[in-house]
C-alpha cells in the first residue's frame, strides 16, 4: 500500500527533499514523502484479503489523523 | 517514485511490521517497507523529465547500494 501525508499536513521530509533537490539544481515545484508497505498474503479470496489489508492500515500501518492510504493489488 | 530495499537486504522496518501484524492476528507471509517520493515537475518534455528524475534518484533520493527505485509517471 501507499501511505501519504494528507494534503495540508506538514511534511518535513518532503520539504527537505525539495530543498536538497533545488540545491543540486533540479527544478521541482513540490515534493512529498510517504511510505510504501508491500505485503505478501496467501489467499483464495481477493475481496476478503483487501478488506484485511484495509484493517491493517487503519489499525497499525497508517495514522488516519495525518495520513491517507491507497491499497494497490499486485497478483504475482 | 517507489524506493524499495533490495532483495536480500535486511529490512528492519518490514520485520517490525510483520511481527506487529502477526501479533494482531493477521496472516502475512512477508512485509517490506520502502519509501514513496512524489514530485511535481512542470515540463513539456516527458522523456527529459524522466531522465532528470532518474538522476535525482541516483544522486540523492535512493541509496543504490541497498535500494532500488521505480519511476511511475502520473500526468495530472
**pLDDT tens-digit readout, A39-65:** 999 988 989 999 999 999 999 999 999
State the DSSP H helix or E strand holding residue A23, giving kind and residue range, or none if neither: helix A12-23
Nearest CA in chain B to A1: B33
* Residue A59 DSSP symbol: I
* Entry pTM: 0.91
Out of B35, B40, B56, the one facing A33 most closely (by C-beta) is: B35
pLDDT digits (tens, 9 = 90+) for B29-48: 999 999 999 999 998 898 99
pLDDT digits (tens, 9 = 90+) for A4-30: 999 999 999 999 999 999 999 999 999
Among the listed residues B76, B61, B44, the one whose alpha carbon sits nearest the alpha carbon of residue B1: B61
Query: Per the CB < 8 Å rule, is A36 touching B34?
Result: yes
Q: How far apart are CA B60 and CA B49, in angstroms?
A: 16
Question: How far is CA A69 from its chain centroid?
Answer: 6
Q: What is this model's ipTM? A: 0.90
Amino acid at each position: 500500500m501507499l501511505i501519504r501525508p494528507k494534503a495540508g499536513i506538514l511534511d518535513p521530509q518532503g520539504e527537505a527533499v525539495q530543498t536538497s533537490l533545488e540545491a543540486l539544481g533540479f527544478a521541482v515545484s513540490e515534493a512529498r514523502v510517504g511510505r510504501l508497505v508491500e505485503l505478501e498474503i496467501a489467499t483464495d479470496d481477493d475481496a476478503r484479503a483487501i478488506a484485511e489489508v484495509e484493517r491493517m492500515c487503519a489499525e497499525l500501518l497508517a495514522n488516519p489523523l495525518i495520513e491517507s492510504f491507497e491499497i494497490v493489488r499486485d497478483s504475482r
